[in-house]
Structure 1
Amino acid sequence: MIMAAFNPLTALRSPRETLDGYIILPRLIDKVRAQARGELPAAYQRNLLHRGGTLDGRFLAFTGLEGEALRAVILSCETDEPVAQWVAQHATRHSADEKQRWAAEVEGYRPTGRVLLYLQSTVPELAAQIDCALVSLLDLIDMNEGRLAVPARGGSADVEERSA
């Protein structure tokens, strides 16, 4: 059997997609399942369900969930709905408004410092086309994975002002 190359566009949902009001969660589910099948590239595994400033870490901090507990639930469920139900039962309670405010904060985050340097080194082709410091992390992910068009240098995504 020949395994097709990992294609994040078809294998992973955008970090903007939501499940029960949580951005990032559908993508986390996809990454955990891809890792279990042996299909998740090393670049994606490095931060999988780790605490810290990564998207996974931000989700875990906001929800108060433990990464390994979430992994076990994801792998025990065939569909997303039981995962969402488990998250609703075990996560720190947040109103829909709180989830929306948190999502807006994450969506507006632009990488700086070491995070910016790391991203530029992991996506050099994209970094050569745009100023990564002027684009949100979620835009960078969606551009890198082909969901969002990459503007020409000096294009709208390169100069657009977004509130932090």
Structure 2
Amino acid sequence: MTNYSSPDLTQQPPRSPRVRLGGFAILPRVIDKCRAVLAGTNGDYNYACALDQHFFTFTKIDPEAMKAEIAAGKGDGEILAWVMENLGRDLSLPDILAWSAYHQSRSPDNPTYRAKFNKMHETLAPDRTDIVTSFDMLDLDDYVSFGGKA
């Protein structure tokens, strides 16, 4: 059973980057990774990694300030309220939804990332033609890493 207040990312992956909180894609995954880092159960997952930085850059939220809020034991709804109160810029719900839709449909956009993506695709599921976005690859990698069959 998943314990969202202190996920053990050595036993299961964080939430999919597709899962949204307050319209924000990536945010629930960021929260899961932070909670796991705080608990020492993050395994191969890192808080404030390159994917997380897309969220922090968009919202202008300081990762260390958010980590302190999560360390205080706040639930997802409380973290969302804190995020909305501490945005470093004005964002409307349509802005948030457009940003999330963009990231959900985003594919590798440079040769280095494209090569890494293609190598992972070839290794994990060479016959799958539905793996086209970065989120597709993250979900597949999470699934296979914990024993799923591609």
- TM-score of the pair, normalised by structure 2: 0.77
Q: Residues 35 and 124 (structure 1 numbering): CA distance in 2 closer, same or farther, change over 3 Å?
A: farther
Counterpart among 124, 135, 141 of residue 144 in structure 1: 141
The gaps in structure 2 that reach 5 residues or longer are 1-7
User: Residue 115 in 1 paired to residue 118 in 2?
Assistant: no
* Aligned positions, number: 138
Percent sequence identity over aligned pairs: 28
SS at structure 2 position matched to 1:110: coil
SS at structure 2 position matched to 1:116: helix
Q: Higher RCO, 1 or 2 (CA under 8 Å, sep at least 6)? A: 2
Counterpart among 58, 61, 67 of residue 65 in structure 1: 61
- Cα deviation, residue 95, structure 1: 1.0
The gaps in structure 1 that reach 5 residues or longer are 151-164
Paired residues of 1:143 and 1:149 also in contact (CA < 8 A): no
Equivalent-residue separation in structure 2 for 1:119 and 1:39 (angstroms): 26
- TM-score of the pair, normalised by structure 1: 0.71
Equivalent-residue separation in structure 2 for 1:119 and 1:109 (angstroms): 12
Equivalent-residue separation in structure 2 for 1:59 and 1:4 (angstroms): 20
- Residues 8-43 of structure 1, C-alpha deviations (whole Å, 9 max, x = no match): 1xxx1111111111111111000001111111123x
Q: CA RMSD in A?
A: 2.9
